[in-house]
Amino acid sequence: MSQTSSSQVTIAVDAMGGDKGLKVSVAGCALALKQVEDFNLVLVGDENRIKYYIKKHKLPSNRVRVVHAEEEVLMDDEPVFAMKNKKKSSMRIAINLVKDGEADACISAGNTGALMATAKFVLKTLPGIDRPALISLMPGVRKNGSLKMTTTYMLDLGANIDCSVENLCQFAMMGTILSQKIKKVKSPRVKLLNIGSEEFKGLGVIKETSAALDDMKNINYKGYIEANEIFFNAADVIVCDGFIGNIALKSSEGLAKYIRSVTEDTFKGKWFYKPFVWLGYLFFSPVLLSLKNRLDPHQYNGASLLGLKGVVIKSHGNTNKVGFENALLEAVNEAKNDIPNQISAILARRLKVDG
């Protein structure tokens, strides 16, 4: 816990991480500081450059301090290399601040593999948790007369390639806690990602996990889910191993980008030389803008590395300031709700019951 009062949490920011580094991270911090009152920031990185951006975006000096870091983890550094050799990097120092109790959470838009390896090495996993998992909100819709926008937690998104039945059950438990504490869902519906809802289709580990989840008292397990249902509010928590989760996440991100590319290309076509079409675009543009906002992927930015002795949030590397703001507010939320200790408490209770 940090030195501040219990309602005031402190977030350490790896300000150098991400495709656009300080430009996006400090701008995102400015938005979050305006949005929410009760948290403070420690910005870690090149002190002079950070101070320039703090001034530019008028960050309130009473809520922000700077810790200098003389190096950076690069996007193509190998995770183990970064963990072993980049001890003076902004990423490493931000994680150290959490370990030393000077911050309640840290956030980075940098190299995902390096962040996972370093965070696991420095913070260690909670007792009873074998492996941390990467969890994030996926967008979705619910048809109920009108269409309602929803969200679903999905884990693991790439931290663990091979998972045991026990690992997957722990993911279900951690996802349930996050959905309860952050999204205020009373009894989150948990589903297991598979390639068919029929019993006979499952892989060995998936089948066994399904049986084990059925027996877990604190999990509201609802069976299998197919990948095409991820975005249709069929569950509050979707569990899968990191290989499959990463494939599902990246292929849907890819398709979204493909649709964006084709849309932009079509809108930029020869149409614009026809005055009526151009006029049509102008009059119709409020609807198109509303659609763009509803589909904005930056709303869902911010994956959490669950299962560590500390809150670690990964922002997408190529997010914008709004995306970074959202990821930062997720860090604030998880720190306020003290998610690691919540997971520990449930685990301890479960071990007691099982024993």
Please state whether beta strands 133-144 and 303-306 pair in parallel, antiparallel, or not at all (unpaired). Answer: antiparallel
Query: Interface residues for a copy of itself in 120-139 (CB under 8 A)?
Result: 139
The answer to whether residue 193 forms part of the interface with a copy of itself (CB under 8 A) is yes
Number of residues that bind a copy of itself (CB under 8 A): 68
Q: Which of 24, 6, 12 is CA-nearest to residue 331? A: 12
Q: Decide: 37 and 123 in contact? Cβ < 8 Å.
A: no
What DSSP assignment string belongs to 239-266? E--HHHHHHHHHHHHHHHHHHHHHHHHH
Residue among 55, 65, 211, 256 that touches a copy of itself (CB under 8 A)? 256
The answer to whether residue 196 forms part of the interface with a copy of itself (CB under 8 A) is yes
CA dist., res. 252 & res. 227, Å (int): 10
* Span from 62-70, 90-98, 207-215, 243-251 in contact with a copy of itself (CB under 8 A): 243-251
CA dist., res. 288 & res. 349, Å (int): 50
CB of 268 to a copy of itself, least distance (A): 9
Q: Which of 206, 189, 177 is CA-nearest to residue 152? A: 189
Give buried/exposed letters for 189-228 (b at 16+ CB in 10 A, else e).
bbbbbbeeeeeeebeeebbbbbebbeeeeebbbbbbbebe
Rank residues 47 and 229 by Cβ distance to a copy of itself and give the closer one: 229
Residue among 230, 312, 328, 332 that touches a copy of itself (CB under 8 A)? 230
Q: Token pair for residue 240? A: 């899968």
The answer to whether residue 273 forms part of the interface with a copy of itself (CB under 8 A) is no
- Compute CA distances 205 → 139, 156, 176, whole Å: 27, 15, 20
Q: Which of 243, 263, 265, 245 is CA-nearest to residue 255? A: 263
* Span from 30-38, 96-104, 177-185, 193-201 in contact with a copy of itself (CB under 8 A): 193-201
The answer to whether residue 165 forms part of the interface with a copy of itself (CB under 8 A) is no
Query: Interface residues for a copy of itself in 277-336 (CB under 8 A)?
Result: 277, 279-287, 290-291, 294-295
* Span from 20-28, 120-128, 173-181, 276-284 in contact with a copy of itself (CB under 8 A): 276-284
Query: Interface residues for a copy of itself in 41-100 (CB under 8 A)?
Result: 76, 78-79
CB of 250 to a copy of itself, least distance (A): 4
Residue among 227, 317, 338, 346 that touches a copy of itself (CB under 8 A)? 227
CB of 101 to a copy of itself, least distance (A): 33
Residue among 4, 164, 252, 320 that touches a copy of itself (CB under 8 A)? 252
CB of 137 to a copy of itself, least distance (A): 14
- Compute CA distances 199 → 157, 192, 194, 232, whole Å: 24, 12, 10, 21
Rank residues 43 and 115 by Cβ distance to a copy of itself and give the closer one: 115
Q: Which of 58, 60, 24 is CA-nearest to residue 41? A: 60
Interaction site with a copy of itself (CB under 8 A): 76, 78-79, 113, 139-141, 143, 146-147, 149, 158, 161-162, 193, 195-196, 198, 200-201, 203, 226-232, 242-244, 246-259, 261-263, 265-267, 269, 271, 276-277, 279-287, 290-291, 294-295
